[in-house]
């Protein structure tokens, strides 16, 4: 069941809310960005994500195919979410940036591992214990 969660960057300048059903699963990827950032993500469609504050303080980083807009706070550097570049609105919310999520919700959330390092998003990488 979807629940509305409040989230923010570390300094609180960027604030958002997102409607997430953790039973639908979360994602851990081994691409260079996710691997170095130890990201744990929840996929959110555009109408289920609302940026509440801090648009002017968001910077953006893109790499590779530039399919994802990695957004981060200019003040504290934290990346609370990423956006799909172009097309239908889609967000990848950093679950560690959710301010009001219960640890039990995260523990119960299924995790899908994807092999972004090899652009194989349909299959998990051979090793996932470190993600």
Annotated domain spans of the chain: 3-23+38-99
Q: Which residues of 44-59 are buried (b: 16+ CB within 10 A; e: fewer)?
A: beeebbebeebeeebe
Place 98 in a pLDDT band, splitting at 50, 70 and 90: very high
Does position 122 have pLDDT exceeding 90, yes or no? Answer: no
Q: Kindly report the number of other CB atoms within 10 A of residue 42's CB atom.
A: 25
pTM for the complete prediction?
0.90
CA distance 73 to 10: 9
Q: Which fold has domain 3-23+38-99?
A: 2.170.150
């Amino acid at each position: 069941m979807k629940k509305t969660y409040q989230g923010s960057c570390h300094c609180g300048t960027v604030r958002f809310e997102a409607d997430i059903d953790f039973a639908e699963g979360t994602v851990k990827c081994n691409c260079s960005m996710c691997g170095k950032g130890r990201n744990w993500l929840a996929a959110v469609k555009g109408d289920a994500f609302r940026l509440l504050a801090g648009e002017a303080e968001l910077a953006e980083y893109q790499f590779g195919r530039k399919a994802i807009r990695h957004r981060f706070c200019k003040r504290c550097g934290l990346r609370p979410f990423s956006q799909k570049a172009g097309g239908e609105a889609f967000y990848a919310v950093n679950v560690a940036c959710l301010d009001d999520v219960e640890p039990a919700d995260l523990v119960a959330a299924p995790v899908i591992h994807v092999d972004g390092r090899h652009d194989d998003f349909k299959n998990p990488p051979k090793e996932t214990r470190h993600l």
